[in-house]
Amino acid sequence: MTDPKFPADFLWGVATSAYQIEGAVAEDGRGPSIWDTFSHTPGKTVNGDTGDVACDHYHRYAQDVALIAGLGLGGYRFSISWSRCQPQGKGAWNPKGLAFYDRLVDTLLERGITPHATLYHWDLPQGLQDEGGWLNRDTALRFTDYAVTMGQRLGDRVAAIATHNEPWCTAFLGHHSGKFAPGLKDPQAAVQVAHHLLLSHGLALQAMRAAGVKAPLGIVLNQSPVTPASGRATDRALAEREYALFVRWYMDPIFHKRYPTASGVHLYPQVRENDFDAIAQPLDFLGVNYYTRIWASTDEPPQPAPAVQGVTDMGWEVYPEGLLELLVGLKREYTLPPIYITENGMANADRLVDGRVDDAPRIAYMRGHLEALSRAIAAGVDVRGFFYWSLLDNYEWDSGYDKRFGLVHVDYATQQRTLKDSAHWYRDFVARQAAV
C-alpha cells in the first residue's frame, strides 16, 4: 500500500493532557481541581478510578519525552494544570508548578520537539468551582489572568498556545449530561458555560496579545460531520440541529459573531453587549479534534450508524471519511486559519502479550484517517500538523483506566511503558515521509 504524501514541513506529533497523565495531585503545592473532586465522588467513574497517579508523568516526564524523540516525532501537545500553577485559580502562583512546565518545555526543545501548549483541558481549580465555576462570568476574567501569566512564561519557547480543549465537553458533558466534572445536569447552565468559555477564550487572546505574548494563539474544538440516517425531512432537520449544537455553536461566535439558529434550538445564553466582539478575535490557528461522525436518526429507538469499518472500544464508529467531509465543509463555510489536527485516535482492547501489543485495528484507523487527511489537504484545506491521541494509555475520564488510546502501553502497576505495534508503525510512517 502506498503512503499518502504530506507536505515536507508537516508537523507529526502526539498529544496528552495534564490530569490524564501527570498524577502527583497533592505534590509540590498543586491545588485540587474539579476532576480531583469528581473522580473521588463514589459512582462517577468506572471502578472509582482517579487521576491521583495516572501515568506518573510528573516524575517521568523526561522518560516520556525520550519516547516521543525515539518515535522520530517533531511535535508534542500537552496541557497545563491550572491548579498546579495557581492552586486556587486566583491569587498566589506556585513556583514549583510553574517550574515543572519550564522543565517540560526545555526538555522537549533539547530533544528537538516542538511544544504545543493547551491552557485548559477541563481541570478547573476547585477554588473557582466553589465560586460558581464556569457559570460565574468572573471565571472568564480569572482565566484571562492565568493565560497572560502562562503566555509570558512559556510563549517564547512554545510554538502554539491553545486556550481551551473541546469547550463542548466542558459545557455539555460537564453541565448537561453530568458525565464529566463538575457533574451538573442543567441544559440552560450548559449554554451559559459555553458562552463563558468562548468569552474567556476571546478575552485571553486579546490580553495575551496586548501583553506581547509571542506564540501563535488559537483554540481546539472537537468536531464531527453529522449524517442524517435517511433522506427523510425529520432526519435531515435533526442532522442540521446536531451540527449547529456541536460544531457551529463554537465556530459561529468566533468567525461570525453570533450563535447559530436551527429549528429546534431553543436555549440561548445571556450575552452582554460587546461579548461577540471580544470572542471573535483572529485565530493564528484552529485545532480540530476528530474521532467519529454523528449519526442523526429520529427513529425510536434511533437507528445506529452502519459502522461498516467497525467500532472502537469506546463504541465509536470508525469513519475516516468524516475527517475529509468535516474539513472540506469547514473550509466552505468559514475563512479558516491554518489547522492542526490536535487529536485523532482510537481506544482498543489492547493486551500486552510476551512484551508485545498487537494493535492492528489502531494501525488501520491511523492509516485510514491519514489518507482522508491527505485528501483534505489536496482539496485545499491548510492543515499544518497531526497529533495522535494519545502518546500513552491514560486516564480516560469517567471511563477510568479501562480504555486504552495510547501508542504506548502503560502497565499501571509498574508504570512500565511498552511501544505498541502502532507506535512502530507511526515511527516508520513518519520516517518514510521524511525520506521522500
Q: Catalytic site residues?
A: 166, 343
# of chain residues touching ligand IFM (CB under 6 A): 8
| Smallest distance, ligand IFM to C-beta of residue 403, A | 8
| Smallest distance, ligand IFM to C-beta of residue 251, A | 18
| Smallest distance, ligand IFM to C-beta of residue 400, A | 12
Cβ proximity to ligand IFM, 78 vs 243, nearer residue: 78
Q: If binding is defined by CB under 6 A, does position 350 make contact with ligand IFM?
A: no
Q: Is residue 378 packed enough to be buried (19+ CB in 10 Å), middle (13-18) or exposed (0-12)?
A: exposed
d(CA 19, CA 30): 12
* DSSP label of 49: -
Among 86, 289, 342, 422, binds ligand IFM (CB under 6 A): 289
Cβ proximity to ligand IFM, 123 vs 235, nearer residue: 123
Amino acid at 134: W
Among 12, 17, 259, 276, binds ligand IFM (CB under 6 A): 17
CA dihedral 100, 105, 106, 109 (to 10 degrees): 160
- Beta-bridged to residue 105, according to DSSP, are none
- Beta-bridged to residue 164, according to DSSP, are 120
Q: If binding is defined by CB under 6 A, does position 35 make contact with ligand IFM?
A: no
The pattern of x and - marking residues 147 through 186 that bind ligand IFM according to CB under 6 A reads -------------------x--------------------
Q: If binding is defined by CB under 6 A, does position 433 make contact with ligand IFM?
A: no
Q: Which of 407, 290, 323, 316 minimizes the C-alpha distance to 357?
A: 407
b/e burial code for range 412-427 (CB count within 10 A of at least 16 → b): eeebebbbbbbbebbb
Cβ proximity to ligand IFM, 225 vs 228, nearer residue: 225
Cβ proximity to ligand IFM, 224 vs 289, nearer residue: 289
d(CA 163, CA 179): 23
- Beta-bridged to residue 14, according to DSSP, are 76, 388
By CB under 6 A, the residues from 241 to 260 that bind ligand IFM are none
Among 240, 252, 396, 398, binds ligand IFM (CB under 6 A): 396
Q: If binding is defined by CB under 6 A, does position 129 make contact with ligand IFM?
A: no
| Smallest distance, ligand IFM to C-beta of residue 343, A | 5
Among 64, 343, 350, 359, binds ligand IFM (CB under 6 A): 343
- Beta-bridged to residue 410, according to DSSP, are 417
Residue 419 DSSP SS3: strand
Alpha carbon separation from 21 to 71, 121, 152, 229 (Å, rounded)? 19, 12, 25, 37
| Smallest distance, ligand IFM to C-beta of residue 166, A | 6
Q: If binding is defined by CB under 6 A, does position 81 make contact with ligand IFM?
A: no
Residue 428 has φ and ψ, to the nearest 5°, of -70, -40
| Smallest distance, ligand IFM to C-beta of residue 405, A | 6
Residue 32 has φ and ψ, to the nearest 5°, of -70, 150
- Beta-bridged to residue 75, according to DSSP, are 13, 114
Q: Which of 30, 84, 23 minimizes the C-alpha distance to 56?
A: 23
- Beta-bridged to residue 286, according to DSSP, are 219, 339
| Smallest distance, ligand IFM to C-beta of residue 256, A | 25
Cβ proximity to ligand IFM, 251 vs 280, nearer residue: 251
Q: Write out the residues near ligand IFM by the rule CB under 6 A.
A: 17, 20, 166, 289, 343, 389, 396, 405
